[in-house]
Copies of this chain bind each other. A is one copy, B any other.
């Protein structure tokens, strides 16, 4: 896999470190997180962080990218095409909520929507990751919608592009509302409404 490098080996796992850093950014946002806080959370001193990931923005971008990639994996799994569309959508929302509702004080919502939106204006590269993440998500759902139309799970003449964006819109709303502190029940009701909106009432 990876050739042995010369020099002193790292005493930490970069992947684990990124996960710990992500936790901090998730709760405090990019601008609200100091290198000291990151250093404490990752148990790495600042020079090590700097050497492994670059400056604070590069580290943040790394955590965003990791989240994006993981989210796409979760999405692909939830959209297992051997299941009915209705079940697929329910799984997508359910797994999103499992992530969004995890948090100490208030639910943390979506890492991207909750923190990257704030930086998107001033930091172009953050905006790019955010935009790409939303697009990728839409695209994956749209693919499933097209399949659903082929299979007759949706009415003929349905527009997969539109349906995908509406399904994503419910997702975005879950992300925001979770971070605003809405209860699990409230969010699950919205998720159910989203499923019914796309697939029709059960």
Contacts and interface: CB of A to CB of B under 8 A. Distances in A.
Contacts of A84: none
A182 interface: yes
Interface residues of A, number: 46
B176 A172 contact: yes
Given A32-B31, A127-B181, A166-B193, A176 B113 contact: yes
B134 A176 contact: yes
B180 A127 contact: yes
A118 B115 contact: yes
A40 interface: no
Nearest to A28: B122
Contact of A166 (B117, B177, B197): B197
Contacts of A30: 32, 118
Contacts of A173: 165, 168-169, 172-173
A29 interface: yes
Nearest to A163: B193
Contact of A32 (B27, B28, B122, B182): B122
Contacts of A179: 117, 120-121, 127, 130
18 contacts: A29-B29, A29-B118, A30-B32, A31-B31, A32-B119, A113-B176, A114-B117, A117-B117, A117-B180, A120-B180, A130-B179, A134-B180, A162-B189, A162-B193, A169-B173, A169-B194, A172-B173, A176-B176
